[in-house]
Amino acid sequence: MNLESAFQTYRPISRKVLRRLAYDGLIAFPLSEADQCLMSALCRIWTSEWYVSQMNKAFRLDKRAVMLAFPEFGKIDRYVLSSYLNLKPHEKLSVRKVAERIRKYFHLEYSEDEIKRIRQIAYNLRRKSRGSARKQLILQFAMLQEAYEDKEGKHLSNFPSNKLSLNKEI
């Protein structure tokens, strides 16, 4: 079974996840019988709210909130977001400094434009909420966003990468 037919057969597993499973060596294309059994099991697990909620308990609350609110954010994106969300009032953090930290700790170059975009999301969140209520706001926004998209069949993102935008009012 090739990638496209696997995508059609094992929904809601996305093409991106299928490619990552293959990249990590967990499956191989064309899918063998064993790979198809694994995919069937994964599909059953990932469509069960109970299993998903139990698996999510392994993550800290703040990480769960960010993963739910920003599902397309990777490790570096989450690092940038948390760097700006965790600033004390009136504290400043330059884009250049964040880029330097990413180079130092993650050993890669990261676009300053992308850092600015994520910084703006963090500033929008900080403006709407202060302190520990911020995490609850992130969770509530993610749930409202998902409910709105499901009901209206619309997407509220201003970004081509399909990441959530918090520029719109809740």
Q: Which string of DSSP letters, residue by residue, matches 49-100?
A: HHHHHHHHTTS-HHHHHHHHH-TT--HHHHHHHHHHHTPPTT----HHHHHH
165 inside domain: no
For residues 85 and 139, membership in a common domain is answered with yes
105-130 pLDDT tens trace: 999 999 999 999 999 988 887 776 55
pLDDT of residue 63: 77
Q: What is the pLDDT of residues 56-98, one digit of tens each?
A: 888 887 778 777 778 888 889 989 988 998 888 889 999 999 9
HSE-CB at 5 with a 13 A cutoff on CA atoms is 6
In terms of domains, do 20 and 73 share one?
Answer: no
Looking at per-residue pLDDT, the higher value among 30 and 160 belongs to 30
Residues 88 and 11 in one domain: no
Same domain as 145, residue 64: yes
Rounded distance between C-alpha atoms, residue 122 and residue 105, angstroms: 21
The beta strands (E) that lie in 72-169 are given as none
The pLDDT value given to residue 74? 87
Instruction: Determine the structural domain holding residue 118 and report its residue range.
Output: 60-152
